[in-house]
Amino acid sequence: MRSLPLIISVFVVALLVSGCTEHTNPSTEIVGGDPTGDLIGTVAVISHRGQTLTDSSGVTVRCDGTNFSATSDASGNWVIHNLPTRTYSITFSKPGCYSWTDHSFSYTGGVVSRYRWQLSGSSLVTIGEYPEFTVTIDAIIMPHEEYSDSAKKLVPKAGFLFGHTSNNTPNSTALSTYIVVSSNSALNIEDPTTYDTVVTSVSYQSNVPHDTSINFSKQFTFGTSIFKRYAPGQIVYFRAYPVVGDPAVNTMLSDFDEKTATSRANGYGKTASNILSAEMK
C-alpha cells in the first residue's frame, strides 16, 4: 500500500512532462472551424549600393489589418504563430527601407508553412535601403514614321529616352529606372492620378572600380501601346526615378501596381528627375 502514492506521483509527473512537450510543437488550434498554424519565412535586406547586408534583423512582417506580425532575426528568419486560415495582404517593412507587399497570400493552417510569393514561387523576400543616386532625363525622341527614299514609303522609327545618373551612382551593381509617362505635366509616381503608365528602363551597370555617372537609354518601338492613347500633336511628359536592381531579374521590382502607385517593392529613389516633354508624332 505504501507504493501507491509513489505510483500516483510518478503518473502525475508523467502527465505534466507530456503537457510541456506538446507546447514545443507548432502552434495549431481551431478558430471558426478552420485550423491555425505557424507561417515561417526569410527576408533579405539590400543596401543602397545593391549589396545584401549581413544583418537582416528588424524587418516587420505584418498581416495587414490584423494583429498578426513577426520581426526577423539577424539571418532574416521570422515566424508568425497561430495564424488562422484565410487570404492575407502581407507587408514587409523596416525603417529607412522600402517596403514590399504581397496583396493576396492564401494561407492554410494545420501545419508549419513556409511563405512563398505565389506569383513567382520565391520564398525569399527582398527589401532594401532607398537609392541615393539620382537620374536626369537629357532628351526624348518620340517613335514616328519617316519617309524612306530607298523603300519609297513611310517606315517606322523607334523612339528613345536618353538620360544619365549622378556621380555617386554605385559601381558593380545592376541599376534601372521607373519612367512615368502622362499628358499631365505634374508627374508624381506616388499619385496614380498624375500619370498614365509606368515603364522600366533597360538595366544598366557600371563596370569601373569606382562610383560614377552612367548614361542610359530606353527604346520605345513604333506602335507601342504606351503611346496609343495620345493624338498626333499632343504633348507627352516624362519623369524618371532611380532603382537599385534589375526588374528583369528581380520580379519583385518589376511588378508595378499602378492602382496603388507602387511596385510590390516600392524601391525607387525619392528624388525624382526633371520633367521633359515631347510632341506626339
48 shares its domain with 175:
no
- What confidence score (pLDDT) does residue 5 get? 45
Over 50: is that where the pLDDT of 4 sits? no
154 shares its domain with 256:
yes
d(CA 38, CA 20): 18
d(CA 116, CA 131): 26
d(CA 75, CA 40): 13
pLDDT digits (tens, 9 = 90+) for 198-214: 887 767 766 666 788 98
Specify the number of domains making up the chain: 2
Residue type, 120: S
* End residue of a domain, out of 129, 153, 179: 129
Over the chain, what is the mean pLDDT?
81
Percent over 70 (pLDDT), the chain: 78
Model confidence band, residue 12 (pLDDT cutoffs 50, 70, 90): very low
74 shares its domain with 202:
no
pLDDT digits (tens, 9 = 90+) for 29-71: 555 567 899 999 999 999 988 888 999 999 999 999 999 999 9
d(CA 105, CA 97): 22
CATH of the domain at 153: 2.60.40
162 shares its domain with 205:
yes
Q: Which of 18-27, 41-50, 177-186 has the lowest mean pLDDT?
A: 18-27
Task: For residue 40, give its domain range.
Answer: 25-129
